[in-house]
Every structure is written in structure tokens, then in C-alpha cells.
Copies of this chain bind each other. A is one copy, B any other.
Amino acid sequence: AWGFSGGQHVLKWGRCEAYAAVYPTVPDWVLNFSPLPSLSSPHRNLSAFPAAQSEHLQQKMSENGALPLRGKVLTVDTMNANVKKVDYAVRGPIVQRAVQIEKELKEVQGVKKPFEEVIKANIGDAHAMGQRPITFFRQVIALCTYPQLLDDNKFPEDAKNRARRILQSCGGNSIGAYTTSQGIDCVRHDVASYIQRRDGGIPSDPDNIYLTTGASDGIVTILKLLTAGEGRTRTGVMISIPQYPLYSASIAELGAVQINYYLNEEKCWSLDISELQRSLHAAREHCNPRVLCIINPGNPTGQVQSRQCIEDVIRFAAKENLFLMADEVYQDNVYAEGCEFHSFKKVLFEMGPEYSSKVELASFHSTSKCYMGECGFRGGYMEVINMDPEVKAQLTKLVSVRLCPPAPGQALMDLVVNSPQPGEPSYQTFMKERTAVLSALAEKAKLTEEILNTVPGISCNPVQGAMYSFPRITLPERAINEAKAKGQAPDMFYCMKLLEESGICLVPGSGFGQREGTYHFRMTILPPTDKLKIMLNKLKEFHQKFTQQYS
């Protein structure tokens, strides 16, 4: 005998005498569905099942006193299929295991481990690794939050002025009010001024600035606008390999097509236009490539692209009709000599009107990285250049549904673009703190490259910028085979063992993408210098041991 569950047209086999009374012989359409091993196993969603029949059946059963058996409405079979394709390695299984180990370490009676703490070098979270916030920024946000402090003479006048200016721009003079959906007016003006100063005077229109809930929010919003078409005309999005997996995750969630272009590991992760060409040409066979995403300075790779490269990319986007998305959240994180940050906006305009009046560009910045590390505030902005005015109206409409980005994050973004100036009371402390953070990062970038390059089987490109290293690891054949036998990516196998044996949490290169047959991991350079040295030396030991073990 069997029963069923209404609505979702799910059939479950089970006891149901009432049914037998209604249908003494089992109809063909029931026999055509295979029986399930047991009542408790997940039921198959038979979405092809005609609605009418099951309603009829449900009615018959109700009339005969049988309650419909109930399966879950929302199961992995019946949920949004695109969401299932989403992966985000930065917070994936290895991090879940790391969190579990941290809990185990806290247990008094827990299993003894060969290490005392987990070093979380998986995520670009500076404060979590001990970096201090910028005093001025926190003073202003505190003043905005609790304006009674404006009467407190412990706070410097420049901080108070910033706070008053922000509050005056807020509804009811409160950062608890909703802001306009595009973001607080005076903040957008300050962002535009910052961009103009940064880019040698090239004008920036506040109306092209949208404040966002972290850069991630802006990036997803633009990708969403661009996602259209079906089958061969489905939007294709070009993204570097390796990439920051927000891109792959969002492309999967939106059901767009991911188009990989490989950065050149042999040339310090630089970008070859010929590789862009190859990738685009191949993609045109099966989708409609419309977007080119570039992360500069790079995540996870840390390269800072040359000005020539940026010009070439712009020229390529212009020629191939690609919407350019420039992820520039690490714009202050440039360490290597000879490297310099060139914003896509600036280079575009310096290339003259043939390009600057045509190429559609969205540039992204954030409060999470650089010298601020204010990830938890979820502050960010995007500047849209040459966006079709009707599309821009659609964008404004779209962001209005979520009302506005968090006001404290907007205020923080204001301070980043409108930081203390020479002569202001807070200037010296500000510069001291900023310099300390950036020079520590530069030192750690060099240290990381140097130490890792002393390890046979680890090869580390210079960390020119950003806050990560993405070294290549050579894995013994035996290790690769053992991983594959377990159904695990070889670099995941490596990283899991590293975690279990040393407490170091990194993210395997497979989470970011890499050339077939190569293996990497991404580590942050964020732990304090002493701890970083310890970590790098433990890594060195582990790698040598691992290599020996599997040779």
C-alpha cells in the first residue's frame, strides 16, 4: 500500500488502507514510479506529476479518512537549483573544521593536539588577526552613534566636525534613520572628491556613486543587472583564474556563464591580452560574453597590474564590447618597488574620449581592506561610468528595494575618503597608525615570499599587493592519488592535513581556480609578524614532512 503528499506531488510508499478502499487495484501511473526503500528515506520529487491527478487523489483519500503523509516542502531536490551550485571556499569545509578544532581545544577533557591554537590565515580579516582600528575613524563613528559625546572634550575637534557633518545629512540627525538608497548625499560627494584627487583631477560625479553594503553587494548588483539571455545568448562573465570566489559563487547563483581567463603564474600573475582573446573566442561558441571582471591589486594572487596592462584591458573591452568591472578594494595595499596602483577610471580617461566616452565601467571599493580592516561595518561604494541612463534608473530602483546600506558603514566610508588632513588635530596620529599598518603589511609580504621560497616544493611569487600569498605547491604523486581516491581535491587533502597537524587554516587553491594539474593554497599575511614567522616555519616543516611521507 502507499500514500502521497499533496501540493508538491510527492509520492511516498507507506501504509494506507484507506487508499486501498478507494483504488482496489493500483493504477498504472502509480506503478510507473519506483518504490522507495523506506518511509523515512528522502522522497523523490516527482515534479512531472500532473497536478490534477494528485488533487483528485488527495480528495479521494481525505474523503476516506486518510491524512496525507507529509514530506518537507523545501528539500535539496525542490530548492533553487542555482543555489546548490554555489561554493565559497573562503568559508567552506576547511574553515568549518578549523572552528570545530577551536572548540575541541577549549574542552578541558578534549583530545590533546600537537598545537595550542588555530591560526586562521584563511580570510582577509585584519582585526581578527590583531590589527587595531584607526582611532580617528572609531571616534567619529562613536560621536555619530552617541552624539552626547560631542560635548566631551576628550574628542578632537576634527572628529566632531566630521560627525556633525554626517549627522546633518541624516534623517532626524540620526544614523538610525534610513538613508537614501544611493547613500548619504555628503558621503557620495566626499567619495567623488576623493576619486577626483586620487585620479589627478579627472572629475567624478556624485550621482555616479552608489554606496554599498561592502563591495560584494555592489559587485553582485551589477552582475545581476547584466545577467540576461538564454542558452547560447546567456550572459558570459570573464573572470581571472585564480579569482576571489565571490565571483564564481555569484555567477552560479545568477545562472550566468563563468568564462575563465588564466593569469600567468610564470610572469608574476600578470595578464596577457592573448589569453583574454583565447578565452573570449572560445566562450563565444556557447554563450554571450558581456562582462570582464578584473581584481587589481589581485586576490588571491597579490599582483599589481602595470599601467600598460590596464590600458590593454581597456582597449580589449572597448573592442570586444565588454562591460568592465574593476574590483579595486586593495588599492592602498601596494608593497613592491616599481609597483603602483592605477585606477581603471583614471587610465580610461587618460586614454582620451574615444575610450572614456564609450567604455562602460563599474569600479568597486570597500572599508574592509587597505589600512582600515573594518570588515564588520560592511562599508563600500561603486562608481559607474558611461552607464546607460535608463539602466541607471533601473539600478537605482533595484537598490531601493533593500532600502539602504548600513549607515555606520556609510559614515566609515566617508572617513576613508575624507581622512584627517595636514594641520588638523588628528592628522599625525592618523598618519602614524596608517603607516604602521601598511608598512607592517609590506614587511610581512616580503617575509612570506622569502620564507616560502626557501622550501623545496613551494614556489611563491612576490606579494606585490593585497594581503594574500598564493604559492604553488608540488605534491607527491602518492598524495595526489590518495586524495583522489577519497574524492578530495589534492590541495584540500594537503590543507586538511596541515590543519589537523599544525592548527594552521589556509584555503586550498582549488577554491579559487588554478591551471589543471597545479596546486596552490591561499594564505593571508595578516597574522602579527612574530606569529606569521612561526606559522611560515611550521608550514615549511609540514611541507617537508608531507613530501617525505608521501614519497
Q: Which of B226, B288, B373 interacts with A176 by CB under 8 Å? A: B373
The CA of A250 and the CA of B5, in the complex, are separated in Å by 28
Question: Which partner residue on chain B sits nearest A412 by CB separation?
Answer: B176
Q: Which residues of B contact A245 (CB under 8 A)?
A: 401
Q: Which of B127, B213, B250 interacts with A213 by CB under 8 Å? A: B213
Contact across chains for A76 and B390 when beta carbons are under 8 A apart: yes
Q: Which residues of B contact A142 (CB under 8 A)?
A: 142, 145-146, 149
Interface segment out of the listed A129-137, A195-203, A265-273:
A129-137
In chain A, residues 396-442, which have Cβ atoms closer than 8 Å to a Cβ of chain B?
397-398, 400-409
In chain A, residues 349-404, which have Cβ atoms closer than 8 Å to a Cβ of chain B?
358, 360, 368, 372-378, 386-388, 390-391, 394, 397-398, 400-404
Q: Which of B177, B226, B232, B388 interacts with A125 by CB under 8 Å? A: B177
Known contacts being A213-B213, A375-B403, A408-B408, is A388 close to B176, with CB within 8 Å? Answer: no
Contact across chains for B123 and A394 when beta carbons are under 8 A apart: no
CB distance from A133 to the nearest CB of B (A): 5
| A158 contacts B by Cβ under 8 Å | no
Contact across chains for B177 and A128 when beta carbons are under 8 A apart: yes
Q: Which residues of B contact A132 (CB under 8 A)?
A: 174
CB distance from A447 to the nearest CB of B (A): 21
Known contacts being A321-B8, A400-B91, A401-B246, is A394 close to B73, with CB within 8 Å? Answer: no
Encoded as 1 (CB less than 8 Å from any B CB) or 0, chain A from 263 to 304 comes to 000000000000000000000110011110000000000000
On chain A, which size bracket covers the interface? 35 or more
The CA of A142 and the CA of B123, in the complex, are separated in Å by 27
Contact across chains for A401 and B79 when beta carbons are under 8 A apart: no
CB distance from A120 to the nearest CB of B (A): 8
Contact across chains for B123 and A397 when beta carbons are under 8 A apart: no
Enumerate 12 A-B pairs (CB-CB under 8 Å) in ascending A order.
A47-B233, A72-B360, A74-B323, A74-B360, A75-B388, A79-B394, A88-B400, A91-B400, A170-B376, A177-B375, A216-B403, A378-B405
A: residues with CB less than 8 A from B are 5-8, 47-48, 51, 55, 68, 70, 72-76, 78-81, 83-84, 86-88, 90-92, 99, 123, 125, 127-133, 138-139, 141-142, 145-146, 149, 152, 154, 170-172, 174-181, 213-214, 216-217, 220, 224-229, 232-233, 245-246, 249-250, 253, 284-285, 288-291, 318-323, 358, 360, 368, 372-378, 386-388, 390-391, 394, 397-398, 400-409
